[in-house]
Amino acid sequence: MPLRIALACLLVAGGVIHFAMVPAHAGESLVDGLTFAAAGWIQLILAVALVVRPSRRLLGITIVTSLVFVAAWALSRVVGLPYGAHKGIVEPVSSVDLLTVACEVGATVLAVVALRRPRLGATWSDSTLVMASILPLIVLIGVTSVVTSPSATNHAHGGVAAGGHSHLAAGGDDLGLSTLTNGHVHAHAADVVLDQQTQVQLNKQLAQTSQLAVAYPTVAAAEAAGYHRAGPFTPGLGAHYMPPATSVIAPGATDEAGLSSPMLIYDGMEPDSLLAGYMYLAYQQTEPAGFAGPNDHWHFHTNVCITVSANGSIDAPLGADAANVDQSVCDRYGGRLIDNTGYMLHVWTVPGYESSNGLFSDLNPAIKCPDGTYHHIELTDLGMADTTCLS
């Protein structure tokens, strides 16, 4: 009996976590939501059945289903699932996943033990009674702490052009985040964990940005050093400030000169607006090798009308990537049409502005309009305004 109670506790824990994840996944894909709900029901039904009417057949079903769930999780973290909203996308590992898999592995082990030694634990010794009373409490605490953790509340991945996590406010309103776009993105799956050697190389490259954070913490500091704004402030993107002499990343490499002189991204255009991130440029026809590892996701823009003011600031009065813009239209604004901007990469290493979509995501949900939303006007309606925020 104690063995079956322990087994039931693990099954209930896995089922509760699966149920807790249903709303987030159903919001992205009905198939994903139904899959999580089905897994939860299977585990809860097995838990009740094993306590009320145990049998060797139920133990066998428990072993098979638990192994199937573990295999499905492993597949999603190695090559991506073959169906659903994230078909072929490798998902990141979180504490929610790890606890669920631990429960399923534990259930498999206990079910195998129960099959091989059915009389094990048949009598209730004092130590067995203590363990039988403590195990449900441990499982309850573990499930509660994990389900209420940030990795659970941000576990869904849909609704954002960058392919990152959803950020829903109360009532399911994402405050306009899902309407943001940013050019042509080559690829943006979830970030993968790097091996130690690659991580050390990446850390060395990113160390260049810490010096910039100290030197240019605000717009005022950047402008005093000769930086000038390039384009409007946009939620998810911020305001980009170009250095006096713009450096680019050489093809296939990240040299020190290019790494130390990116465009600076600020969370606003006021003198005291804070530094939020960086943007690197690579003027070439193919996506650069860029930073160490596979997580840097480069993007580019096409058909951009550029105007330059007397103080050197750059604006795009007609937006970007618009098919109906040609030089004759750009002439009305005294600008020059650029067919292709070259490859761009955002880097979010500034403390407080880390992007939940990933270190190199093209959009950063931490950057919002003054009213705390992402509601914006279309770039083609921007004219000479310096912000796209609707507010």
Indicate whether 389 belongs to any domain: no
Are residues 184 and 314 both part of a single domain?
Answer: yes
Residue 252's pLDDT is what? 45
Q: Which residues contact 100 (CB under 8 A, 6 or more apart)?
A: 13, 14, 17, 18, 69, 73
Of 157, 191, 226, the residue at which a domain comes to its end is 157
Residues 116, 122, 124, 128, Cα dihedral to 10°: 10
Are residues 219 and 322 both part of a single domain?
Answer: yes
Indicate whether 387 belongs to any domain: no
Indicate whether 391 belongs to any domain: no
Residue 161's pLDDT is what? 35
Summarised one tens digit per residue, pLDDT across range 127-138 is: 654 555 555 556
Longest dimension (CA), the chain: 89
Which residue ranges of the chain lie beneath pLDDT 70? 1-2, 24-29, 84-92, 118-173, 182-190, 245-258, 311-313, 319, 322-323, 378-385
Q: Are 166 and 27 in contact (CB under 8 A)?
A: yes
Residue 318's pLDDT is what? 72
Residue 164's pLDDT is what? 40
Residue 383's pLDDT is what? 61
Are residues 85 and 218 both part of a single domain?
Answer: no
| pTM confidence score | 0.54
CA proximity to 188, closest of 209, 167, 168, 158: 158
Q: Which residues contact 11 (CB under 8 A, 6 or more apart)?
A: 43, 44, 46, 47, 50, 62, 103, 107
Indicate whether 129 belongs to any domain: yes
DSSP 317-344: TT-SS-TT--HHHHHTTT-EEEEE--EE
Indicate whether 40 belongs to any domain: yes
Are residues 150 and 187 both part of a single domain?
Answer: no
Residue 90's pLDDT is what? 63
Are residues 8 and 105 both part of a single domain?
Answer: yes
Residue 17's pLDDT is what? 86
Q: Are 22 and 151 in contact (CB under 8 A)?
A: no
DSSP at 37: H
Task: Report the C-alpha gap between 321 and 361 in whole angstroms.
Answer: 19
Task: Indicate the average pLDDT of the chain.
Answer: 77
Are residues 138 and 287 both part of a single domain?
Answer: no
Are residues 13 and 152 both part of a single domain?
Answer: yes
Residue 177's pLDDT is what? 80
Summarised one tens digit per residue, pLDDT across range 64-94 is: 999 999 999 898 888 877 876 556 666 667 7
CA proximity to 363, closest of 372, 374, 379: 374
Are residues 214 and 94 both part of a single domain?
Answer: no
Number of compact structural domains in the chain: 2
Are residues 183 and 150 both part of a single domain?
Answer: no
Residue 170's pLDDT is what? 43
Task: Report the C-alpha gap between 321 and 318 in whole angstroms.
Answer: 9
Of 157, 190, 207, the residue at which a domain comes to its end is 157
Are residues 135 and 182 both part of a single domain?
Answer: no
Of 157, 189, 206, the residue at which a domain comes to its end is 157
Indicate whether 331 belongs to any domain: yes
Are residues 213 and 299 both part of a single domain?
Answer: yes
Domain that holds residue 14: 2-157
Q: Are 182 and 362 in contact (CB under 8 A)?
A: yes
Indicate whether 83 belongs to any domain: yes
Are residues 258 and 346 both part of a single domain?
Answer: yes
Indicate whether 166 belongs to any domain: no
CA quadruple 70, 73, 79, 82: dihedral positive or negative? positive
